[in-house]
Structure formats: C-alpha cells, structure tokens
Structure 1
C-alpha cells in the first residue's frame, strides 16, 4: 500500500495510539517476519515440501483477499470520484487514470500479445510485475512507518522522510538489479520471460548507494531516538525495516521465505484496511444498531456485521480474480495453447491484478485524499 502521508495529521482528528493494539500491530505490521523467517531458515530438508505447501496455501488465503479489498475501496462511489465531487482536481485525474486508463491499457496489451501469439512481448509483463511489486513493497513499508508515526504523534521531518524514501528506493533498486545479473530464461504460468544482463559495475554502484543510504537511515533513527527521549514509533520502524530488507533484499536466501513473504506483506496491508473499514462503518448512522435477523445478532452492532461482510467479499473477489474466472476463460476461450501454454488467462490475471494493485493504492492512500484523512486516524 502506497501511503503518501504528511507529518501533519488533521488537527481535528483524534488519532488512536494503535490500529488494533500494541501486540497485534507488531505482528501485522511486520513483527511476524522477525518471529517466523528465522525459524523457516532452519527447517530440515525432509519437511520443506510439506511446509512449502502449507505456506503457499496460507499466502493465498491472506494475500488474495487483500487485492480484493483494494478494488472494494477504490471503486466504491467511483462515479463521484470521477466527477471530482469532494476531491481535488489532481486526485480526480489520478482516479480516472488508475481506475479507467490503466486497466484499459493493460487489457489492450494482453489482448494484442495473445492474439498475435507474441510470447516474448507477454513475457515482458512478468518483468514489469517484478519491478512494480518491489516498488510497492517499499512504499507500503514507508507508509506503515508514517501511519504509526502519526498515531504515536512521533512525526518525521521532511528531511527525515527524504532519507527514508531515498533509502527505500536504493535498496529496492539494488535488489531488483541483482535479479538481472545475467540473461536467464524463466517461466511464469507456463510462459517464458527473460531477465536482463546488468553490467557488474552498475550492480557494484547500486550496492554502494544502498549500503550508504542504509547507514544514513540508521544514524537518522538513532538521532531521533536520542532526541525524543528513547522513543520511536517502533511498530512502524519494524514495518519499514522488514519490508526493505527481509522481504526485498534478502528474501532469496531461503525459498520458503519467497512463499510466506506475500502473506506477511498482505497482513501489513490488512491491518490498515480493516481499521479503515471499521471506522467507515462506525460512521454510519445505524452503526450501533442490532441486525434485524436474530441469527446475525452474534455480531453485535451492525458495523461489525458489515466489516465481516467486507472481509468475506474481499476473499470472494480474490478467489474469482486469481482462480475461478481465469480457469473458466481457459476452458471457454479458444487460443493456441501450443504457443501460449495451457494457463494463459492465469498468467494474465495474476500479472494484471498485481500491477493494477500498485496503481490503485498509489491513488487511494495519498495525502489529500479526504477519505484517508477522515477514517484512517480516528
């Protein structure tokens, strides 16, 4: 989730100290990686296959709903957003571009590649997905730090934020370049794609910049810790550090990490989205009323039922987008499977959703979005 939040929270808002609580925030924002990833590193080889299957299933259960939630929030009252009713001109244009232009352009790209049988062109979409996913992880980790800083009233200066962002981009770029040291052929859902041959001197330069920016960031954190009496927005710091280093830079140290990291990234996202949606539902006039059906009274107030419904719908959307609709299209739409493989629509759906998700979040969670200001920090 890309959060462009200023250090100045709305004055009229009364922020919570935590999204859900100190321990839950720690686990969901990134602390789970500190507890789980080291253990996975020492799993005996004979258990790796079983654990990999469990982790992959867990990733799907947690990861795919978080994509569904982004569509639920982004396209809610979309006509009003397109009209600019209550939104600035720049934000209105961003909603139009991310919500209409980008998906139409991607659909045209995939349609052209599939109709012409251009496997090489389609394969380039996998490179783009890797590029945007890493960028997305960095911006979400930074965003979580900003959220926690606002909640704790431990604001970062503009200069500090520049250091944090520069370091995030430097570490991400170095990690991405490392995956393109030599030209290699790989596969994603049966379609081949190729990495790039990056010159060794560029890798060395990127590594030096990432190391220097990491050191500068560490110094900045230490100085802030001293200046503020040994206090930092610790859960946010954990989210930032884990996102950059455990989930991007060093994730390839263990194959099991690659399977579980998407679930941890999604937990980080869900912490904010579920709090945001809870505040949205609490703001409704009938939020504290009881459901009319007696069987639904177990949820208590109506807002709890609505939040639960929101979560369930997100899970359904994730299943539809990643599995059910693509598999149905594979069976119903004729295409050259000898050239494009037997999983073309799974390939398209996974890349489309991952890339589009970056553009959606880049708009939804920006500074100046009135919904973020109203509901996230209540």
Structure 2
C-alpha cells in the first residue's frame, strides 16, 4: 500500500510539475510582453498558450513512459510508451500556432516582440525535445530542472531585490543571495544526514522514505502556492516586480 501511494504521489507531482514548468514560462512571456507595451488578444493568447498546455500533457506522458520509478502501474506505462513516437506530430502544430500568435501580435501592434518574451516560449519546446530524444530521463530531468530554476530566478530575484532594497537599503540583492546560501546549506545537511552522522542501514531506509514523502509534499505545496502568488494580474505582484523601473 505504501509503495502504491508513493508511486501515485510521484505521478501526481510530475504531472503538476509539467503545469508548473509551462505556466511559469507563460508568466514570464506575459511579463516581458507587458514591459514591451504589448497586450495579447484572446486569440493570440490561446495561439501561444495552447502549446504550453499541450506540453503539460506531454511532460506527464514522457515521464511515465521512461521513468525508472514506474514499478506498479505498468499498464499506464505501456500505454504512454506506445504514444511516445507520435509526440512530435502532436506538438508541432501547436508550436507553429504559437509562432503565428507572436507574429499576429507584432503585426497588429506594430511593435517587435521582445527577445525576452520569445526565449521562455522557445525554451520549453527545447526542454521537451531533449526529454524526448535523450534516453537518460533522470539526467535530462536534472538539466531541465536547472534551466527551469534559472528561468524562475528572473522573477523571484527581481522581486526579492526590490522588496529587500526597501527593507535593507541598497543591499537587497546581497540579502537575497545570503538567504539562498543558508537555505542551500541546510538542504545539503538534511539530504546528507545519514552519511554525516553514520546512520544505521535500517534507519537510513526509513529516513529516506520519509524524506521522499516530505520532498513530494513540499513540491506539491510549492507548485500550488507558486501558481497562486506569482500572477502578473495581481497589482501587488506587479508593484514588487516593477518597482525598480518606477524608481528610474
């Protein structure tokens, strides 16, 4: 029962992770379009965004088809493997539609699309191309996760620097980096604790299982909270994100 629950939670968190990746990219696209004084029409919005929604499904499909963690739900894995060869044919029309959406926006407004808005859109397609073609799913997942984290820092670091500057003067960015280093160090200790203290094998197994459940729970919480608070439609988010521009 415990193994099935853990595997089901893994599937759930990976599906949610796909949503997290792609909607983050969408948020950054909207941010840079906003900064470029570009406003999407409903049609243009869905021409671009629909491809990202499709990639959420492809994320789940590719992970389930190739993940070494799929031990219990073999029928689902087999079904996903059978669909995998058709992924490029499913995704490509939406990729073209997204490009046409940007083109339509540029023609309608007479404004060139900022490169910073195009890069996150193109990046997610590159990520999943790598996942589809690179057979070490764990290895490529690490690359994608790092790319996602770097992309994410565009927003969070800017907000923390702006907010930190108000609270701590000109050292807002320094404060943010210091907090990051402390949290990174604590994370290392938590994950490496069995080796650090010489934990016994049986206790290590229990500790690792508990830690896995904790990490999955934290990720689910992170994805949900992230989707709730980082909305450019929220005036408070816009204020914190763009306050450095107002100061110029």
Normalising by the smaller structure, the TM-score range is 0.7 to 0.9
Q: Which residue of 1 aligns with 2:246?
A: none
Distance 1:282-1:230 versus aligned 2 partners, 3 A rule: same
TM-score, structure 1 normalization: 0.53
Alignment check: 8 A CA contact 1:252 1:258 kept: no
Report which structure shows greater RCO (CA 8 Å, sep ≥6). 1
Q: Which residue of 1 aligns with 2:209?
A: 344
Q: Are 1:165 and 2:49 an aligned pair?
A: yes
Which of 233, 237, 246 lines up with 2:126 in the alignment? 246
CA distance in 2, matches of 1:128, 1:376: 31
Distance 1:367-1:225 versus aligned 2 partners, 3 A rule: closer
345-354 vs 130-139, greater mean Cα deviation:
345-354
Q: Are 1:362 and 2:227 an aligned pair?
A: yes
Q: Which residue of 2 aligns with 1:375?
A: 240
Q: Report deviation, 1:313.
A: 1.5
SS at match of 2:68: strand
Which of 176, 180, 186 lines up with 2:68 in the alignment? 186
Alignment check: 8 A CA contact 2:106 2:113 kept: yes
Q: Which residue of 1 aligns with 2:2?
A: 118
SS at match of 2:173: helix
Q: Report deviation, 1:319.
A: 3.8
Q: Report deviation, 1:238.
A: 0.8
SS at match of 1:198: helix
Q: Which residue of 2 aligns with 1:143?
A: 27
Alignment check: 8 A CA contact 2:160 2:173 kept: yes
Aligned pairs for 1:43-82 (under 5 A) are: none
Alignment check: 8 A CA contact 2:61 2:80 kept: no
Q: Report deviation, 1:250.
A: 2.9
- Tell me the alpha carbon deviations over residues 234-277 of structure 1, each in whole angstroms, 9 at most, x when there is no partner: 2111111102x122343343345433222221111111111112
SS at match of 1:186: coil
TM-score, structure 2 normalization: 0.78
- Tell me the alpha carbon deviations over residues 202-230 of structure 1, each in whole angstroms, 9 at most, x when there is no partner: 66887654332222112222223334446
Alignment check: 8 A CA contact 2:31 2:232 kept: no
Aligned pairs for 1:178-327 (under 5 A) are: 178-181=62-65, 186-187=68-69, 194=73, 196=76, 197-198=78-79, 208-229=89-110, 231-243=112-124, 245-254=125-134, 255=136, 257-284=140-167, 302-320=168-186, 322-325=187-190, 327=192
Alignment check: 8 A CA contact 1:129 1:351 kept: yes
- Tell me the alpha carbon deviations over residues 85-105 of structure 1, each in whole angstroms, 9 at most, x when there is no partner: xxxxxxxxxxxxxxxxxxxxx
Task: Answer with 1 or 2: which has the greater Rg.
Answer: 1
Alignment check: 8 A CA contact 1:136 1:358 kept: yes
Q: Which residue of 2 aligns with 1:296?
A: none
Give the alignment's Cα RMSD to 1 decimal: 3.4
Distance 1:259-1:333 versus aligned 2 partners, 3 A rule: closer
SS at match of 2:64: coil
SS at match of 1:153: coil
Give the number of equivalent residue pairs.
237
